[in-house]
Structure 1
Amino acid sequence: MLKKISKILLLLIFLMGIVLNSLPINTEIAKASVSANLKGDVIYQVIIDRFYDGDPLNNDPAKSYGLYDPSQSKWKMYWGGDLEGVRQKIPYLKQLGITTIWLSPILDNLDTFASTENTGYHGYWTRDFKVIEEHFGDWTTFDNLINDAHANGMKVIVDFVPNHTTPIKESDPTFAEGGALYDNGKYLGNYFDDSNKGYFHHNGDIQNWDDRFEAQWKNFTDPAGFSLADLSQENETIAKYLIDAASQILAHGADGLRIDAVKHFNAGFSKTFADKMYQQKDIFLVGEWYGDDPGTSNHLEKVRYANNSGINVLDFDLNTVIRNVFGNFTQNMYDLHNMVTLTNNEYVYESNLITFIDNHDMSRFLDMNSNITNFHQALAFILTSRGTPSIYYGTEQYLSGGNDPYNRAMMPSFDTTTTAFQLISSLANLRKNNSAIQFGTTRERWINNDVYIYEYQFYNDIVLVAINRNTNSPYNISGLYTSLPNGVYSDYLNGMLNGNSISVTSGRVSDFTLGAGSVAVWQYNSSANYPQIGSVAPNIGVEGNVVTIDGKGFGSTVGQVTFGSTPATIKSWSPNQIEVYVPNSNPGTTNIKVTAGGVDSNTYLFNKLSNNQTSVVFTVLNAPTTNLGDKIYLTGNIPELGNWSTNTDGGINNAQGPLLAPNYPDWFYVFSVPAGQTIEFKFFIKRADGTIQWENGNNHVVTTPTGVTGNITVNWQY
């Protein structure tokens, strides 16, 4: 009887919550609010289970009963947050200035404990990529969230986890669910009945995380004493299954995907995956390539991935320095500026990087440094810098916490009066309305160990920012130059962080004192009377794909867009945004140009793919002897293989590789190439001293597979 009364009480509470918190539900999937361009956006990263409980009836569902902790004291159990809870808090997020919501994984997770009180509450242990996790809702709940987000001008990005399934122990097939994989409820297989299927890699656990073969072809290990069953993206069934699953999320209205652990599966699948996604609509894709900062052994692989795969990356390079500069003070403002400069030079599309001060895989900033002033400075920096800032849920409420899982506390409140809330809201508005931050180039204007004054400029739009991280000492600023026109400029933040006004005459700022711990922002926004391209998104694709061009001064009268010299068909045209179809033009890199009112714009680099892509395992048998530092690469007669280039840096469409040799002297790797097309290629060794050794004989000539994956194996020609 008590149990029945409790259920009725829960239902009444739930219905009251709907009345008090709900938004109108659209009956059809709304169109995405904007394009794949996120340069003017602010992202809000949500761990669904820890944000808000909008539907108490799904807290402890029968399918996976017993994984819920109503006391919210057991950190690795479900605590009740769900998709309906996110939907109900859209007004709060809108007031915060958020324009993109990043949802943690939404799909069906492990139905049992992986170890004592250890569940898949976080979403990263997917068992069925076609079903919504029952603790979070269902596809209707997800549709409602998408509808209301779009109706309020917000995009939704969903975390997708194609690297692995669920926890396993190689010594115990009965542990948890054995890595079992399902397709909309239908059992496909698990790690231990895989001998004739090849759905999983069976190479043991990662021991050396810097070894590329181990990192991509072995199982993740967890500190709790188990591993995660590593999926084989080289398998046609698995590759197609993952692409279909991601496509289903997009079909339900999602505006993009955050792809988990991209450094841990082959880059060829990533590029083919991106191609399949972009053929559906112009979405935003970003991958998590954790670590490998500049100076480490695999940093170039990360840069090559970001420049060539069609998938942007989270900016861990800059994150490390931000935390060192504002958090633990082990680096200074020169280091911060140098990292901005380095990443701007390395990444072709640096404005597509996602910046952040913390996330779900590291301690929160305030756990490292509890000084609120430095915390505000770090926030102000990412909100006024290139790339798109991502705010981890609860940041605006000053959530603290150590490493996983203690950085994933329940959202404590939804207070709109905190300084952090007001800071994010104010600078989100600046990002939305001043193209200098969205599209502009940056330069350092004044710097010492504690002070960084930097300027972003896009044509006549300008944002100048000054940050003094020293909370005890003000600095006299003299000799500061700027592109701001003559005039007096008040602090855009209205003194929120103790900023001041400045006076500009003939490109020079009158001397002033930058207060201890202060942040000041000054800006100038202009109109444009000629076309100015700031963004093309996506920046890779095949003929017929839709790409969106954002900028200024396009006018209301339809003009022309060209890819190289080839005109594109216009889908839509407005003063600040144009949608076009990729034309039938030569594959490879090409410059996009807008002509409006008889005036040509600047150009923007686009990578036209040769055709629909397939990820192919290229293997060369019995290669010559190599020594430490020697590497083998592949090049060929198509842009995807470098057009016979032997350049091996991280630029677009260079030689592909380096290959891996777990079965030396045989070498292999997976590359994305046009499907069903005859291609020519050769391998070469780049010796440690930089000299090139080609294989002999004629070019290898093959017709590539027509499926999503395939294999091409040849002998080294002597």
Structure 2
Amino acid sequence: MLLSSLLLAFVPAGFAATADDWRGRSIYQIITDRYALPAGANPNTCDTSKRTWCGGTWNTIRENLDYIQNAGFTAIWISPVSQNYEGPTTAYGDAYHGYWIADASQLNARFGTADDLKELSAEVHRRGMYLMVDIVANNVMATSTTPDLSTFMFKEQSQYHPYCPIDWLNNTSVQNCWLGDSVVPLPDINTQDPGVQATYGTWIQNLVQEYSIDGLRIDAAKHVSADFWPGFCGKAGVFCMGEVFGDDIATASQYQDAMDSILNYPMYDALVQAFSIPGPRNVSAVTTVLQDIQQNMKDPTVMGNFLENQDVPRWHNISIDQQSLYNAMVFTFMSDGIPIMYYGQEQGLSGNADPYNRGPLWPSAYAQTTTYNMTKSLNQLRNYLVNSTDWAKSRTQVLNIESDGIAIMKGDVVTILTNIGSPPQNVSVVAYTPWENSFSSTEYASLVFSHPAPADTFYSIFTCKQYAVGSNGTLEVQYTLGGVPVVLVPNDIIKDAGFCQWASHIQADVPVNNGALAMAPRAVALVLSAVVGLSVLV
């Protein structure tokens, strides 16, 4: 009941969803062709290496929304819906991913009909969720550098930039030359042309209104001049999140100035540096990027946080240790920004690059894995905080950074993360909170077993283990049984958020309860036995 009520609280008043509306959302990203199959389809015929269609549609997304909603997500992001290239298979396969645009004004028949897309949108909204659609405005797709323009929405040569390969050191070239290559070139649309701007404005306005779309993810946003996007997004009338690939914050900030949001590639790169195993395990990269973002970006709280997507390797191919995923993933949910989970991250899908990072989800049988249940807990907490407080608008503070981890605070939630991985180590990470303990160690021993917890007591959302603020406001996590992430919530909201219903009478050893992890036996033992050391309480 709690999850349903939280999601219904998100039901939009209309479809003109703004950055304020999206700030508290969490997004599940879907490659439409690879999420779910129609009933009765053969589940064993999808060969990822062949780069061809496997059968996912808008209808099969609609029929399988429970899996996403039960994990606590409040929005979905789907592949581009426009018509794609429909000719002979290319050297790079077929347009199963949806990004090879032909006529943007037409729908992709491979994914369904107009009624199918409307029914998906209606069902998403019935559940109190939002619909984000990927769009491609920078380019179309061709099989030569002299394509037949009659197959595209823009049919005049003047509506395209002349062919040229990109010089990545020249910003004008990045914006005006062609993505792709000579095998599958992507003709670059002349978005400086007033006629193109007007046509695009009418198209996106009609698309958003016709299908009740709440937000746009804009592909290759930095390959278009930033001054194009305010007019385009203004005509759309909904939240716009652009893809600005790369970790240069100066470039990224120009594009958030031009639209609501961008994908947080700078933080993605920092999380890889900090948590991947093997890797440099440079935790300071996270604090440096966080500081730069907070100083230079228009609004860090609406940037899109992610660990995986269709253009980067799956985490499994970056890091060999599952705890590294858990710690990095928790950061994407509990820091500034909108968390985005790429389909299959919760199932441990692998794949280093296109096409292998775009495999089908159905072989997983949509199991409730450890990662799925951790995601469920994170969304449950985040949805409560968003719906009940100003947590989403608050800024992340770094409480401490050490070689083995980082402690952050957003609102009154303290998150302590480590990069040591699964093997136990005799190390700890301390969070220096703004709170002081107000009771002695003797009083604490009594409180644990017989009295309601004090205001400066916290609980882990994953284990319901009790933590108290020690001298000088310290909270300390020891990793003698492995490097699990710890999210600590004050006792005055833990029960209202739906965790640890008996938290005021917590015992020394507690069972997994209501939103905590459901894991394999070894993982249960690891998490439930994790020693959390309290600082001296005197």
- State the TM-score bracket (shorter-chain normalisation): 0.7 to 0.9
Q: In structure 1, what is the Cα distance between the partners aligned to 2:375 and 2:477?
A: 26
Provide the C-alpha distance between the structure 2 equivalents of 1:320 and 1:340, rounded to a whole number of angstroms: 12
Q: Which of 244, 249, 256 matches 1:289? A: 244
SS at structure 1 position matched to 2:241: strand
Alignment correspondent of 2:484: 518
Residues 1:510 and 1:321: Cα distance change in structure 2 (over 3 Å): closer
Q: Which amino acid aligns with 2:369?
A: T
Distance in 2 (alpha carbons) for counterparts of 1:34 and 1:203: 37
Instruction: Answer yes or no: is 1:447 the counterpart of 2:401.
Output: yes
* Cα distance, 1:56 vs structure 2: 8.1
Change (3 A) 1:490 1:514: farther
Distance in structure 2 (CA, Å) of the matches to 1:210 and 1:220: 14
- 8 Å contact from structure 1 (residues 315, 354) kept in 2: yes
Q: State the Cα distance separating 1:181 from its structure 2 match.
A: 4.2
Give the letter for the 1:210 counterpart: L
2:234 to 265, 275, 281: 275
User: Which of 455, 459, 462 is the equivalent residue of 1:493?
Assistant: 462
The residue that corresponds to 1:413 in the other structure is: 364
- Mapped to 2, the partners of 1:101 and 1:387 lie a distance apart of 16
After superposition, give the CA deviation of every residue in 1:463-506 in whole Å (9 maximum; x if it has no partner).
001112213314245673334884322211126xxxx5311268
Give per-residue Cα distances to partners, 1:601-649, cap 9 Å, x unaligned: xxxxxxxxxxxxxxxxxxxxxxxxxxxxxxxxxxxxxxxxxxxxxxxxx
Aligned residue-pair number = 454
* CA apart distance, 1:414: 4.2
Cα distance between partner residues in 2 of 1:478 and 1:425: 26
Paired position in structure 1 for 2:373 = 422
1:218 aligns with 2:177: yes
* Cα drift, residue 359 of structure 1: 0.7
The answer to whether the 8 A contact 2:455-2:490 is kept is no
Aligned counterpart for 2:29 among listed residues 45, 68, 71: 45
Change (3 A) 1:51 1:512: closer
Counterpart contact for 1:385–1:437, Cα < 8 Å = no
Q: Measure the CA separation in 2 of the matches of 1:42 and 1:268.
A: 28
Determine if the alignment matches structure 1 residue 481 to structure 2 residue 426: no
The superposition leaves residues 240-288 of structure 1 with CA deviations (integer Å, 9 ceiling, x where unpaired) of: 222222112211101010011111111121121122223xxxx211000
Deviations 1:107-139 (A, max 9, x none): 100011362362111111111212211110011
| Letter matched to residue 93 of structure 2 | N
Identity %: 23
Go from structure 1 to structure 2 and tell me whether the alpha carbon gap of 1:369 and 1:72 turns closer, same or farther (over 3 Å shift): same
**Cα distance in 2 between the residues matched to 1:215 and 1:115:** 25
Structure 1 gap ranges (5+): 1-28, 60-68, 528-718
Question: SS state of the match for residue 103, structure 2?
Answer: strand
Could you tell me whether the CA contact under 8 Å between 2:45 and 2:54 is conserved in 1? yes
Counterpart of 1:332? 282
| 8 A contact 1:129–1:242 mirrored in 2 | no
2:101 corresponds in structure 1 to 126
> Does 1:508 pair with 2:473?
yes
SS in 1 for 2:125: helix
| Aligned counterparts of 1:286 and 1:40: Cα–Cα separation in 2 | 14
* The one of 109, 127, 137 aligned to 2:112: 137
Distance 1:101 1:410 in 2: 17
- Structure 2 CA distance for partners of 1:337 and 1:182, relative to 1, 3 Å: same
Per-residue CA deviations over 1:146-180 (Å, capped at 9, x if unaligned) read 1111111110100010001112422xx4xxx6454
Change (3 A) 1:463 1:201: same
Which protein is richer in helix relative to its size? 2
Q: Secondary structure at the match of 2:396?
A: strand
Letter in 2 for 1:235: D
Contact 1:168 1:226 in 2 (8 A): yes
Aligned to 1:205: 165
Match of 1:72 in 2: 47
Measured at CA, do residues 514 and 227 of structure 1 come closer, stay the same or move farther in structure 2, by a change above 3 Å?
same
Which amino acid is 1:420 matched to?
Answer: T
Evaluate the alpha carbon distance shift between residue 305 and residue 31 of structure 1 in structure 2; reply closer, same or farther with a 3 A threshold: closer
What is the letter of the counterpart of residue 522 of structure 1?
A: L
Query: 2-side partners of 1:53 and 1:415: how far apart?
Result: 12
SS at match of 2:359: coil
Give the structure with higher Rg (CA): 1
Pairing 1:398–2:357 present: no
Does the C-alpha gap of structure 1 residues 428 and 168 become closer, same or farther in structure 2, counting only changes over 3 Å? same
Distance 1:276 1:124 in 2: 22
Are 2:236 and 1:266 aligned?
no
Structure 1 residue 226 displacement after superposition: 3.0
Are residue 315 (structure 1) and residue 245 (structure 2) matched?
no
Question: Are the aligned partners of 2:242 and 2:255 in contact in 1 as well (CA < 8 Å)?
Answer: no
Check conservation: 1:55, 1:84, Cα contact below 8 A.
no
**Partner Cα separation in structure 1 for residue 261 and residue 46 of structure 2:** 39
Shift, 1:311, TM fit: 3.3
Contact 1:48 1:104 in 2 (8 A): yes
The 5 Å alignment of 1:379-394 reads: 379-394=329-344
Contact 2:418–2:483 (8 Å) recurs in 1: yes
Deviations 1:352-379 (CA, angstroms, capped at 9, x unpaired):
1101011100111101113111111111
Q: Which moved more, 1:500-509 or 1:349-358?
A: 500-509
Q: SS in structure 2 opposite 1:490?
A: strand
Kept in 2: contact 1:487–1:505 (CA 8 A): no
Which structure has more relative contact order (CA 8 Å, sep 6+)? It is 2
In 2, distance between residues paired with 1:479 and 1:154? Answer: 35
For residues 294 and 85 of structure 2, the distance between their equivalents in structure 1, rounded to whole angstroms, comes to 40
SS at match of 1:115: coil
Residue 375 (structure 1) aligned to one of 310, 321, 325: 325
Structure-1 residue corresponding to 2:256:
306
State how 1:665-684 maps to structure 2 within 5 Å.
Answer: none
| Match runs of 1:6-17 below 5 Å | none
Work out whether residues 28 and 75 of structure 2, in 8 Å CA contact, stay in contact via their aligned partners in 1: yes
TM-score by length of 2: 0.79
2:7 aligns with none
Residues in 1 aligned to 2:30 and 2:468: alpha-carbon distance in whole angstroms: 41
**Deviation digits for residues 60-114 of structure 1 (CA, Å, limit 9, x no counterpart):** xxxxxxxxx9553553211111111111111111001111100111110001136
Structure 2: runs of 5+ lacking an equivalent: 1-11, 437-453, 494-538
* Aligned residue identity for 1:487: D
